Amino acid sequence: MEKIELKDAFAEFKNQKNIDRPTMMGVLEDVFRTQITKTYGSADNFDIIINTDKGDCEIYWNREVVEEVEDPNTEIAIDDPALDDDYEIGETFAKKIELKDFGRRGILNIRQNLQGRIMDIEKANLYNKYVSKIGEIFTGEVYQTWAKEVLILDEDGNELRLPKSEQIPGEHFKKNDTVRAIIKSVEMKNNTTPYIVLSRTTPDFLEKLFEQEVPEIYDGLITIKKVVRVPGERAKVAVESYDERIDPIGACIGVKGARIIGIVRELRNENIDVLQWTNNTQLLIQRALSPAKISSIVLGGEEDKIKVYMLPDEVKKGIGKGGCNIRLAGMLVGKEIEVWRELPAADDMEDEEDVLLSEFDDVIEGWIIEKLQSIGCDTAKSVLALSAADIAKRADLEDETVEEILDILRAEFEDEE
Give all domains of the chain, ordered by start, each with its CATH number.
3-129 (3.30.1480.10), 139-200 (2.40.50.140), 202-277 (3.30.300.20), 346-416 (1.10.150)
Provide, rounded to the nearest whole percent, the portion of the chain with pLDDT above 70: 90
**φ, ψ for residue 268 (rounded to 5)?**
60, 50
Q: Give me Rg for the CA atoms of the chain.
A: 37
Question: Any idea which of 10-19, 85-94, 119-128 has the lowest mean pLDDT?
Answer: 10-19
Does residue 334 have a pLDDT over 60? yes
Does residue 204 have a pLDDT over 70? yes
Per-residue pLDDT of 254-292, as tens digits, reads 999 999 999 999 999 999 999 999 999 999 999 999 888
DSSP 270-310: -EEEEEE--S-HHHHHHHHHTTSPPSEEE-S-GGG-EEEEE
Mean per-residue pLDDT over the chain, rounded: 86
Query: pTM for the full model?
Result: 0.69
Per-residue pLDDT of 69-100, as tens digits, reads 898 889 999 988 888 878 889 999 999 988 88
Region 210-219: mean pLDDT is 94
pLDDT for position 353: 66
- Kindly provide the b/e burial profile for residues 362-388, where b requires at least 16 CB atoms within 10 angstroms of the residue's own CB: eebeeebbebbbbbbbbbbebbbebee
Q: Which residues is 43 bridged to in the sheet?
A: none
Q: Is the dihedral of CA 302, 307, 309, 314 positive or negative?
A: negative
Give CA angle at 336 (334, 341), nearest 5°. 135
Q: State the Cα torsion 294-299-301-306 to the nearest 10°.
A: 50
Per-residue pLDDT of 143-158, as tens digits, reads 999 999 999 999 888 9
* Contact in structure between 195 and 187 (CB atoms under 8 Å): yes
